[in-house]
């Protein structure tokens, strides 16, 4: 049994929630009296029309009883941007720093107050309106971590447009697919950006994506708004003398951000939104077929993101919060943008990588800004551990109080390093489990209140009622393992998949009627701690990036030399998981380095660099059952070289397994 760590006096002393009993009391109330619990929080926000008592939450989680729906605060009217900015300015936080911005190069940095942020948002919102963007219109965002990204998201929220951010590490194909699927009218990007010494040619990616959207999906972007970023930051590598040679420029579509906002007023009346009006959508990989446009709405998302931020990070006035996630992911949406601003917090936005100019960049930033809460991913922690403790010791990290982790299970070794070396043994660690679909944290320790076990996501957040189910859907009581599901909605759960409510119902609600199914497995130990064990569907989690095996297989079989492909996950010391691909070739095709390189390049190009396979193996055949199903369990064993494969009697051709073992690349 693993050791229990109790929050240190340093954390408990002034903690918002100083005991486990207090947590249990609040959690109980949030389940027994959701209206009483959440309406107290709702009262801190501004409502143009208040909610109607008695109608705080309504839902159906049981597909056998009809359509799945979830509604929070029906009848209430508000605007999220107004709550994040105007409300805080009115409450005297106008001159407070909303964000410190730290560029890729340490010489590039700036700061912005709440007042200034509000005026920039209003200008951009007015410009969008002047260009015909209205409530319900979609705006795709393909941006580096710069202030305009946040300004754009908030401007959309202000006028009721629905933003769809696409992580700028995605390929132009992925961008084309996502912006076409959401029917975006506008695309917002930058000319380019530096990641370490690597130049990202963002506008050119957008040019290609717009072209592909037109030819492949018959979708046209009306306006592409481009931030001129490269000129204002330090070049970290070679740049062409003439920046305009890097991309195409189409005067009918493309417009510079600075021209777009020129002359716009810094006052912009918000669009008043119904509680269940869409706020944003964010595409996430599905285990089959196209990416899923996860849709989040107004009031519930505001309540849950604000509340989780406050308790999970124990945020206090004057703290400096830093979440290292890119805004292209849900962690960035909720914990870089919406949640900190909802709490009038000061946070940090970092454009660069942990490895530039040196491998101690994170720690030098923590020291420079006296960061109090640091929130990152296990893959980052593991990659930084490799450089030893010396690099950390060079920096004063005394300001830190709460550390947090997200994206995949954190292995105990990384947890201990984080706790002892980064946190000096005095900080709490919040191992936060959530998903694009959950909008905010659903399982997590709370600093000051919950005891911690390295690798466990602890206990449910307020309003969240988890259960573990066995294959038959029977509840696993007490210690045991099963499918991780949730028995009721918390305010920020997704409401639908954009344009495909059937897929929403079948993906999340059909396997176990009455429950939202996460797709993850989990274990409950004898002390009631929950341990997320990872995906139990055909999804892979590489460095916290979720992708489906079938998505990668689809790309591999685009190569004319490949007839069939099967992709499985192989454990990786830094990335958590990596892609191990088996390919069957067409008649006459040769398996050689050229093919391997082509396939790796193809996957990078189609999906993004983070999806590049680690291993491609030649397969004369695949282990299939008589019904034609690939036995991935066996392929996973082959990937790690474990000959302990168990029963193979259901295979049509068991001899193929031995051949695959023989063919393993010798690296």
Please report whether residue 279 would count as binding ligand PRX according to CB under 6 A. Answer: no
Which lies closer to ligand PRX via its Cβ, residue 87 or residue 535? 535
Distances (CA, A) of 167 to 144, 189, 376: 8, 11, 17
Q: Minimum distance between the CB of residue 497 and ligand PRX, rounded to whole angstroms?
A: 13
Selected from 520, 538, 559, 577, the binder of ligand PRX by CB under 6 A is 520
Please tell me the distance from the alpha carbon of residue 367 to that of residue 387, in angstroms, as a whole number: 18
Selected from 189, 324, 331, 492, the binder of ligand PRX by CB under 6 A is 331
Q: Minimum distance between the CB of residue 285 and ligand PRX, rounded to whole angstroms?
A: 8
Which lies closer to ligand PRX via its Cβ, residue 270 or residue 482? 482
Which lies closer to ligand PRX via its Cβ, residue 189 or residue 518? 518
Residue 149, both tokens: 């990204």
Please report whether residue 304 would count as binding ligand PRX according to CB under 6 A. Answer: no
Residue 281, both tokens: 């959508």
Q: Determine contact, residues 214/220, Cβ cutoff 8 Å.
A: yes
Half-sphere exposure of residue 128: CA atoms within 13 angstroms, side-chain side: 35
Q: Minimum distance between the CB of residue 330 and ligand PRX, rounded to whole angstroms?
A: 5
Q: Minimum distance between the CB of residue 150 and ligand PRX, rounded to whole angstroms?
A: 19
Residue 485, both tokens: 């599901």
Which lies closer to ligand PRX via its Cβ, residue 191 or residue 538? 538
Which lies closer to ligand PRX via its Cβ, residue 39 or residue 411? 411
Q: Minimum distance between the CB of residue 284 and ligand PRX, rounded to whole angstroms?
A: 5
Please report whether residue 457 would count as binding ligand PRX according to CB under 6 A. Answer: yes
Q: Determine contact, residues 77/275, Cβ cutoff 8 Å.
A: yes
Which lies closer to ligand PRX via its Cβ, residue 207 or residue 437? 437
Which lies closer to ligand PRX via its Cβ, residue 7 or residue 378? 378
Please tell me the distance from the alpha carbon of residue 74 to that of residue 148, in angstroms, as a whole number: 32
Of how many residues is the chain composed? 667
The DSSP symbol for 5 reads: B
CA angle centred on 101, ends 84 and 141, rounded to 5° = 65
Q: How many residues belong to the site for ligand PRX (CB under 6 A)?
A: 22
Please tell me the distance from the alpha carbon of residue 293 to that of residue 163, in angstroms, as a whole number: 11
Span interacting with ligand PRX, options 106-114, 250-258, 493-501, 532-540, rule CB under 6 A: 532-540
Q: Closest by alpha carbon to 143, among 182, 102, 195, 98?
A: 195
One character per residue 392-421, x = contact with ligand PRX (rule: CB under 6 A): --------------xxxx------------
Q: Minimum distance between the CB of residue 323 and ligand PRX, rounded to whole angstroms?
A: 11
Return phi, psi of residue 610, to 5°.
-65, -15
Where helices occur in 459-568 by DSSP H, the ranges are: 501-508, 549-556
Q: Minimum distance between the CB of residue 328 and ligand PRX, rounded to whole angstroms?
A: 10
Which lies closer to ligand PRX via its Cβ, residue 19 or residue 287? 287
Indicate the angle between helix axes 172-181 and 593-606, nearest 10 degrees: 30
Indicate the angle between helix axes 593-606 and 549-556, nearest 10 degrees: 130
CA 528, chain centre distance (Å)? 27
Which lies closer to ligand PRX via its Cβ, residue 74 or residue 537? 537
Residue 65, both tokens: 């009883």
Q: Minimum distance between the CB of residue 140 and ligand PRX, rounded to whole angstroms?
A: 18
Q: What is the DSSP string of 263-281?
A: T--S--PPPPEETTSEEEE
Q: Minimum distance between the CB of residue 437 and ligand PRX, rounded to whole angstroms?
A: 6
Q: What SS3 class is residue 282?
A: strand
Q: Minimum distance between the CB of residue 107 and ligand PRX, rounded to whole angstroms?
A: 31
One character per residue 499-518, x = contact with ligand PRX (rule: CB under 6 A): -------------------x
Q: Closest by alpha carbon to 268, among 123, 89, 114?
A: 123
Q: Minimum distance between the CB of residue 45 and ligand PRX, rounded to whole angstroms?
A: 24
Residue 55, both tokens: 């109608």
Selected from 123, 171, 284, 376, the binder of ligand PRX by CB under 6 A is 284
Q: Determine contact, residues 605/205, Cβ cutoff 8 Å.
A: no
Which lies closer to ligand PRX via its Cβ, residue 98 or residue 457? 457
Residue 261, both tokens: 């906002």
Which lies closer to ligand PRX via its Cβ, residue 29 or residue 523? 523
Site residues (CB under 6 A) for ligand PRX, limited to 420-439:
431-436
Residues at the interface with ligand PRX (CB under 6 A)? 284, 330-331, 406-409, 431-436, 457, 518-520, 532, 534-535, 541, 546
């Amino acid at each position: 049994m693993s050791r229990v760590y109790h929050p240190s006096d340093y954390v408990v002393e002034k903690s918002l929630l100083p005991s486990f009993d207090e947590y249990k009391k609040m959690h109980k109330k949030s389940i027994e009296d959701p209206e009483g619990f959440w309406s107290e929080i709702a009262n801190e926000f501004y409502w143009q029309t208040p909610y109607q008592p008695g109608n705080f939450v309504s839902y159906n989680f049981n597909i056998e009883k009809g359509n799945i729906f979830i509604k929070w605060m029906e009848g209430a009217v508000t605007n999220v941007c107004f709550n994040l900015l105007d409300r805080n300015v009115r409450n005297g936080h106008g001159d407070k720093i909303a964000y410190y911005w730290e560029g890729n190069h340490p010489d590039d940095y700036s700061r912005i107050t709440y007042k200034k942020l509000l005026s920039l948002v209003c200008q951009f919102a007015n410009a969008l309106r002047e260009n015909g963007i209205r409530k319900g219109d979609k705006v795709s965002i393909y941006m580096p971590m710069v202030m305009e990204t946040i300004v754009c998201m908030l401007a959309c929220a202000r006028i009721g447009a629905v933003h769809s951010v696409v992580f700028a590490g995605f390929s132009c194909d992925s961008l084309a697919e996502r912006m076409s699927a959401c029917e975006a009218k506008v695309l917002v990007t930058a000319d380019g950006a530096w990641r370490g010494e690597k130049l990202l040619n963002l506008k050119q990616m957008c040019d290609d994506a717009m072209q592909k959207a037109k030819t492949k999906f018959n979708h046209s972007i009306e306006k592409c708004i481009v931030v001129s970023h490269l000129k204002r930051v330090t070049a970290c590598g070679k740049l062409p003398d003439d920046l305009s040679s890097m991309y195409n420029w189409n005067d009918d579509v493309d417009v510079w951000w600075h021209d777009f906002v020129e002359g716009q007023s810094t006052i912009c009346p918000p669009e008043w939104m119904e509680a269940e009006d869409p706020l944003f959508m964010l595409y996430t990989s599905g285990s089959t077929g196209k990416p899923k446009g996860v849709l989040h709405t107004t009031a519930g998302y505001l309540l849950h993101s604000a509340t989780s931020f406050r308790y999970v990070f124990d945020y206090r006035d004057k703290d400096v919060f830093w979440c290292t996630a890119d805004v292209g992911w849900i962690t960035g949406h909720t914990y870089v943008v919406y949640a900190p601003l909802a709490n009038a917090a000061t946070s940090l936005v970092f454009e660069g990588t942990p490895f530039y100019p040196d491998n101690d960049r994170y720690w030098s930033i923590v020291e420079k800004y006296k960061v109090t809460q640091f929130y990152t991913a296990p893959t980052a922690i593991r990659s930084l551990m490799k450089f030893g403790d010396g690099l950390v010791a060079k920096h004063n990290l005394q300001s830190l109080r709460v550390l947090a982790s997200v994206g995949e299970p954190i292995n105990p070794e990384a947890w201990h390093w984080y706790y002892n070396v980064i946190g000096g043994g005095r900080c709490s660690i919040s191992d936060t489990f959530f998903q694009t679909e959950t909008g905010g944290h659903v399982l997590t320790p709370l600093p000051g209140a919950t005891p911690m076990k390295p690798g466990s996501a602890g206990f449910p957040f307020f309003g969240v009622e988890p259960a573990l189910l066995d294959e038959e859907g029977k509840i696993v009581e007490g210690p045991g393992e099963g499918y991780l599901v949730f028995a009721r909605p918390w305010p920020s759960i997704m409401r639908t998949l954009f344009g495909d409510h059937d897929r929403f119902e079948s993906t999340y609600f059909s396997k176990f009627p009455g429950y939202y199914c996460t797709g993850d497995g989990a274990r409950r130990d004898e002390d009631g701690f929950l341990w997320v064990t990872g995906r139990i569907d055909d999804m892979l989690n590489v460095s916290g990036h979720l992708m489906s095996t079938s998505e990668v297989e689809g790309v591999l079989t685009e190569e004319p030399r490949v007839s069939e492909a099967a992709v499985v996950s192989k454990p990786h010391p830094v990335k958590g998981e990596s892609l191990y691909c088996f390919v069957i070739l067409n008649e006459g095709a040769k398996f050689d380095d050229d093919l391997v390189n082509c396939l790796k390049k193809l996957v990078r190009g189609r999906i993004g660099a983070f999806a590049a396979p680690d291993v491609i193996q030649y397969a004369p055949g695949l282990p299939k059952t008589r019904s034609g199903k690939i036995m991935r369990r066996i392929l996973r064993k082959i990937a790690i070289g474990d000959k302990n494969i168990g029963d193979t009697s259901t295979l049509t051709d068991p001899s193929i397994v031995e051949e695959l073992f023989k063919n393993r690349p010798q690296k």
